[in-house]
Amino acid sequence: MYRTFVLFLLISSTYCDSSTLNNHHFPKNFKLGAATAAYQIEGGWNEDGKGVHMWDWYTHTFPEKIKFNYTADVACDSYHKWEEDVKLLKNLGVSHYRMSISWSRILPNGTANNINLKGVEYYLNIFKALKEANIEPMVTLYHWDLPIYFHEMGGWYNPLLAKYFGEYARVCYKYFGEYVKTWITINEPQSTCLGGYAEGTKAPGYIHMGEGLYQCAYVHLLAHASAYHIYDKEFREAQQGRISIVIDSGWAEPASDSDSDVSAAQVERDFVLGIYANPIYNGDWPQAVIDNVAQRSYLEGFPKSRLPQLTQEEIDFINGTSDFFCLNTYSTNYITSGNKVNESIGDPSYYLDKGTSSFVDPSWPSDVQWVHLVPWGFRKLLKYVYEHFNHPEIFVTENGWADLTGQLNDTNRITYISEYLSALLDAHYEDGVNVTGYTVWSLLDNFEWTNGYTQKLGLVQVDFQSENRTRTPKDSFKWYQGVIEKRCLVEECIE
Ligand SMILES: *[C@@H]1O[C@H](CO)[C@@H](O)[C@H](O)[C@H]1NC(C)=O
Ligand SMILES: *[C@@H]1O[C@H](CO)[C@@H](O)[C@H](O)[C@H]1NC(C)=O
Ligand SMILES: *[C@@H]1O[C@H](CO)[C@@H](O)[C@H](O)[C@H]1NC(C)=O
Ligand SMILES: *[C@@H]1O[C@H](CO)[C@@H](O)[C@H](O)[C@H]1NC(C)=O
Ligand SMILES: *[C@@H]1O[C@H](CO)[C@@H](O)[C@H](O)[C@H]1NC(C)=O
Ligand SMILES: *[C@@H]1O[C@H](CO)[C@@H](O)[C@H](O)[C@H]1NC(C)=O
C-alpha cells in the first residue's frame, strides 16, 4: 500500500492538483492552529496605562518608513474586539492559538516595579475565553514591541536587557501560568537583528552592518536563556508547562551540485539559522560563523573578532534552553558563492562575512518578495532542522501566504497552505521528522510591519476602512476548517 502510494506520488508529482497531496491523516495529537501578534492586531496603543514601545515610537517618529505612513495605533482593534477573535478561532476549530503579550501593556516602563493591572486583566480575559472554547494558548513574551525605556538604553545591544527580560517573563509566568502551558520567549531574532540592527529596514532602523547583527543575536540568546532558566527553576514544577524560542529561516538550496554551491548553502544556513539555533541546541556559534568573522575582522584590522566570543559560562547558560523547536518559515532561496572571505576587505559587513549570494527561481509563484510557493524547500528545511539540532520535536509556529488584494476567494493561499501541509506530512511519514504542530500565519489580515496594511496574510479579511474593523472569513478559512475537521488534505485519507 505504502509503496504503491510513493510510486503514485512520483508519477503524479508534476501535476499540481489535489491528487499530489499527501493522503495520510495528520498524526494523532498533531496540532493545527493559527497565530497573531500583539502589535499587529491589538491597537489601543495608549489605552488603560499601556506604555510606549519601540514600534509605537518608530511608526510615529518616522512615518515615511511605513507604507502609506500607516501605524498600528488601531490595527484590527483586537484590544476591544478580542471576543470576536476568540469566536472566530472557535469556529475555525483550532487546537491552539499563538498570540503575544505586549510587554509595555503589562509593564508600562518595561521594569517590573510598575505592573499595569488593566493590561494583566486584558490577557487574563482572553486566556479564560480560550479555555472556555477549549483552545490552548501558545504565548510569545516578546514579538518585537520593546518598551521604549529599554530601546533608549541601547535595546538589543545592551546585555542588561537579559536581566530585565527575565523579570518581565517572571511577571507573566506568575499571572498567566495557570492558563498558559506553552511559552515562547522571543519571536524571530533573525528578522529583528537583520532588519532592525544591521540593514536598518525595521525598527529601530539601525544600520550597523559590521557588528549590529552579532551583538543583537548575542543579547537575544542571553535574554532567552534568562527567561528559560527562570521558568525552569521557579515555575516548571508547579505549572507543568514548556518553553522555547521561535527561530525563523527559509530553506537555502545550493544553486547547483558544485562543491562551492553546496558549501555556500551550508554557510548560508549557519549564518541565518545557525547563529540563533546552534548556541541553544548545540552549545556555541556555528564554526563557519566563528571562523569567517574572525578572519575578516583580523584582515580589517580589528583587535578582535566582531563576533562576541561566548565564554564557557555563557555557553553553559544558553546550551539546552529549549523544550522543543519552534520554526517560522515562508520561502526558499537558491544559494551560490559570492565574495571570498579574504575579498572586499575594509567594509565590515555581515553579508561579506557570509560571502554567499542568493536568488529565487522566477517560476516560483509569489505575490510578495518574501513568500514563494516552494513546498519541497519546506520539507528539506524540516529534515535539516531535525538532523542538525539533536532530533528535537519541531512545531511550526508560523507559515502562510501573503497577497496584495485580501480577496475572499483566496485560492493561492489554499494552494500554498495545502502544499506546505502535504510537505510536512511527507517529512513526518517519509523522512521520520518529529513535527507535532502547524500554525497558520495569520488568523487576521493585520499590520505587516513596514508594509503597513498592504500585505494580507489572514484567513479572515479585516476591513481597515471601517470603524468596526469588520471581519469576514475568506475561502481559506472554510477550507482550513475542513482540514481540521477531517484531519486530512484529500477526499479520503489513510492512516
Ligand atoms: C512609567 O510609565 C508611566 C506610564 O506610561 C509614565 O507616566 C512614567 O513617566 C514612566 N516612568 C518612568 C520612570 O519612565
Ligand atoms: C508621510 O509622512 C511624510 C513625513 O511626515 C509626509 O511628507 C508624507 O506626505 C506622508 N505621506 C502620506 C501618504 O501621507
Ligand atoms: C551542549 O550540551 C550538550 C548536551 O548536554 C553537550 O553534549 C554539548 O557538549 C554542549 N555543548 C557545548 C559546546 O558545551
Ligand atoms: C516526538 O516528540 C514528542 C514530544 O517530545 C515525544 O513524546 C515523541 O516520543 C517524539 N516522537 C518521536 C518519534 O521521536
Ligand atoms: C475573486 O474575486 C474578485 C473580486 O473580489 C474577482 O475580481 C476575481 O475574478 C475572483 N477570482 C477568482 C479566481 O474567482
Ligand atoms: C458596527 O458593529 C456594530 C455591532 O456589531 C453594529 O451594530 C453596527 O451596525 C456596525 N457598524 C457598521 C458601520 O458596520
> For the segment 223-269, what is each residue's pLDDT rounded down to a tens digit?
999 999 999 999 999 999 999 999 999 999 999 999 999 999 999 99
Mutate to test the pocket of ligand 6, among 80, 468, 469, 472 (most ligand atoms within 8 A of CB): 468
Q: Would residue 494 count as lying in a domain?
A: no
pLDDT of 16 over the 70 cut? no
CA 146 – ligand 1 centroid, Å? 15
Instruction: Evaluate: CB of 13 within 6 angstroms of ligand 6.
Output: no
What pLDDT does residue 199 have? 98
pLDDT in tens, 38-85: 999 999 999 999 999 999 999 999 999 999 999 999 999 999 999 999
Q: Which residues line ligand 3 (CB under 6 A)?
A: 283-284, 315, 319-320
Residue of the nearest CA to atom 13 in ligand 2?
Answer: 68
What pLDDT does residue 455 have? 98
Index of the ligand 6 atom closest to the CA of residue 468: 1
Greater confidence, 159 or 12?
159
What pLDDT does residue 17 have? 54
Compute CA 395 distance to the chain's CA centroid, rounded to the nearest angstrom.
Answer: 11
Question: Nearest CA to 440 among 339, 335, 337, 330?
Answer: 330
Residue of the nearest CA to atom 14 in ligand 6?
Answer: 468
What pLDDT does residue 15 have? 38
> Model confidence at 7, in pLDDT bands (50, 70, 90)?
very low
Instruction: Evaluate: CB of 434 within 6 angstroms of ligand 4.
Output: yes
Length of the chain equals 495
Overall number of domains in the chain: 1
Angle at 350 between CA 346 and CA 355, to 5 degrees: 85
What pLDDT does residue 487 have? 98
Segment 96-123 shows an average pLDDT of: 98
Q: Would residue 495 count as lying in a domain?
A: no
Mutate to test the pocket of ligand 2, among 69, 70, 71 (most ligand atoms within 8 A of CB): 69
Q: Would residue 491 count as lying in a domain?
A: no
Q: Would residue 493 count as lying in a domain?
A: no
CA distances from 17 to 12, 279, 409, 493 (A): 9, 41, 18, 16
Index of the ligand 6 atom closest to the CA of residue 466: 13
CA distances from 452 to 71, 94, 122, 469 (A): 7, 27, 25, 15
What pLDDT does residue 18 have? 59
Host domain of residue 92: 2-486
Residue of the nearest CA to atom 7 in ligand 5?
Answer: 407
Encoded amino acid at 87, one letter: K
Instruction: Evaluate: CB of 114 within 6 angstroms of ligand 6.
Output: no
Are 100 and 143 a contacting pair, CB within 8 Å?
yes
Identify the residue whose cell numbers are 498592504.
454
pLDDT of 443 over the 80 cut? yes
Average pLDDT along the chain: 96
What pLDDT does residue 495 have? 81
Segment 199-207 shows an average pLDDT of: 98
Q: Would residue 492 count as lying in a domain?
A: no
pLDDT of 12 over the 80 cut? no
CA 283 – ligand 3 centroid, Å? 5
CA 113 – ligand 1 centroid, Å? 11
CA distances from 341 to 349, 437, 485 (A): 11, 39, 52
Instruction: Evaluate: CB of 393 within 6 angstroms of ligand 4.
Output: yes
Segment 368-383 shows an average pLDDT of: 98
In percent, the amount of the chain with pLDDT more than 90 equals 95
What pLDDT does residue 366 have? 98
Q: Would residue 125 count as lying in a domain?
A: yes
Question: Is residue 121 flagged as an active site residue?
Answer: no
What pLDDT does residue 240 have? 98
Instruction: Evaluate: CB of 475 within 6 angstroms of ligand 5.
Output: no
| CATH number of the structural domain spanning residue 387 | 3.20.20.80
The Cα 427–Cα 429 span in angstroms is 6
> Model confidence at 9, in pLDDT bands (50, 70, 90)?
very low
Question: Is residue 495 flagged as an active site residue?
Answer: no
Among 188, 253, 314, 448, the one annotated catalytic? 188
Segment 92-121 shows an average pLDDT of: 98
Segment 293-315 shows an average pLDDT of: 98
Segment 25-37 shows an average pLDDT of: 98
Instruction: Evaluate: CB of 468 within 6 angstroms of ligand 6.
Output: yes
Residue of the nearest CA to atom 1 in ligand 1?
Answer: 109
Count Cβ neighbours within 10 Å for each residue of 101-129 and write b for 16 or more, e otherwise.
Answer: bbbbbbbbebeeeeebeebbebbeebbeb
End-to-end CA distance of the chain: 11
> Model confidence at 3, in pLDDT bands (50, 70, 90)?
very low
What pLDDT does residue 194 have? 98
Instruction: Evaluate: CB of 134 within 6 angstroms of ligand 5.
Output: no
Q: Which residues line ligand 2 (CB under 6 A)?
A: 63-64, 68-69
Residue of the nearest CA to atom 9 in ligand 3?
Answer: 283
